[in-house]
Chain A
Amino acid sequence: DTEVTQTPKHLVMGMTNKKSLKCEQHMGHRAMYWYKQKAKKPPELMFVYSYEKLSINESVPSRFSPECPNSSLLNLHLHALQPEDSALYLCASSQSRGFEETQYFGPGTRLLVL
């Protein structure tokens, strides 16, 4: 089973709102990722957690705050977002063996910031 689930599927929020995106996997993977994808562009890496520790932060603005409560869950907390943050947010997971990291993606959350 190579399933990564994400909730919600769609989210509309105002610039003063606080919301969270959730991601879950039950494949025993120990690395989890957040990507941002704008229309007609490839995904851009935001954060990577390995063994529940933040291992990569691609200079993402602090209005995006990741959290990894356990090895199966990954959250992305959103606060004071801008309209340009509207995008598809994809979660992925991989085994974290240090090599041959095949990432499996979830269906994404389509975020609209008004």
Chain B
Amino acid sequence: AQKVTQAQTEISVVEKEDVTLDCVYETRDTTYYLFWYKQPPSGELVFLIRRNSFDEQNEISGRYSWNFQKSTSSFNFTITASQVVDSAVYFCALSEAEGAQKLVFGQGTRLTINP
């Protein structure tokens, strides 16, 4: 069975600090997809990144970076030099090749960036 665990329920940091959001997943499939979504207070889930199980390259997009490690079943997300606008709930999610339309979400991490 699939499972996504985001152990950090809430994180609060001061602006300009770096922050890492942890995501650990479980799946029996060899082909699967991992996602990060951002949900600001307005409610919309904003897609940030998709990574498939065959691509373990880390990715950097501006201040955002993602570290995918199959050996530890983790897909962590780091925000460098955080800003107040980064305050949101962040969800990690998993889908499998069989049943790719079913996204399994973690419980989310509420990130607060204080000025």
Question: B75 to nearest A CB, angstroms?
Answer: 15
Question: B55 to nearest A CB, angstroms?
Answer: 11
Does A43 make an interface contact (CB < 8 A)? yes
Question: B17 to nearest A CB, angstroms?
Answer: 24
CB contacts under 8 Å to B, within A76-111, are 88, 90, 92, 94, 96, 98-108, 110
Q: Are B91 and A107 interface neighbours, CB within 8 A?
A: no
- Chain A residue numbers with a CB within 8 Å of B35 are 102
Q: How many residues of A contact B (CB 8 A)?
A: 29
User: When A42-B107, A56-B101 are in contact, do A103 and B47 touch as well, CB less than 8 Å?
Assistant: yes
Q: Are B43 and A110 interface neighbours, CB within 8 A?
A: yes
- Chain B residue numbers with a CB within 8 Å of A98 are 100
Question: A50 to nearest B CB, angstroms?
Answer: 7
CB contacts under 8 Å to A, within B9-34, are 31, 33
Does A45 make an interface contact (CB < 8 A)? yes
User: When A41-B107, A42-B91, A48-B101 are in contact, do A100 and B44 touch as well, CB less than 8 Å?
Assistant: no
Q: Are A90 and B47 interface neighbours, CB within 8 A?
A: no
In the complex, the chain B residue whose C-beta lies closest to that of A94 is: B101
Question: B80 to nearest A CB, angstroms?
Answer: 24
Q: Are B101 and A50 interface neighbours, CB within 8 A?
A: yes
Q: Are A103 and B52 interface neighbours, CB within 8 A?
A: no
Q: Are B47 and A101 interface neighbours, CB within 8 A?
A: no
Most A CB within 10 A of own CB, among B31, B33, B101: B101
In the complex, the chain A residue whose C-beta lies closest to that of B6 is: A42
9 nearest A-B pairs in the assembled complex, by CB-CB distance: A42-B105, A105-B45, A107-B44, A108-B43, A101-B100, A99-B100, A102-B50, A48-B101, A101-B101
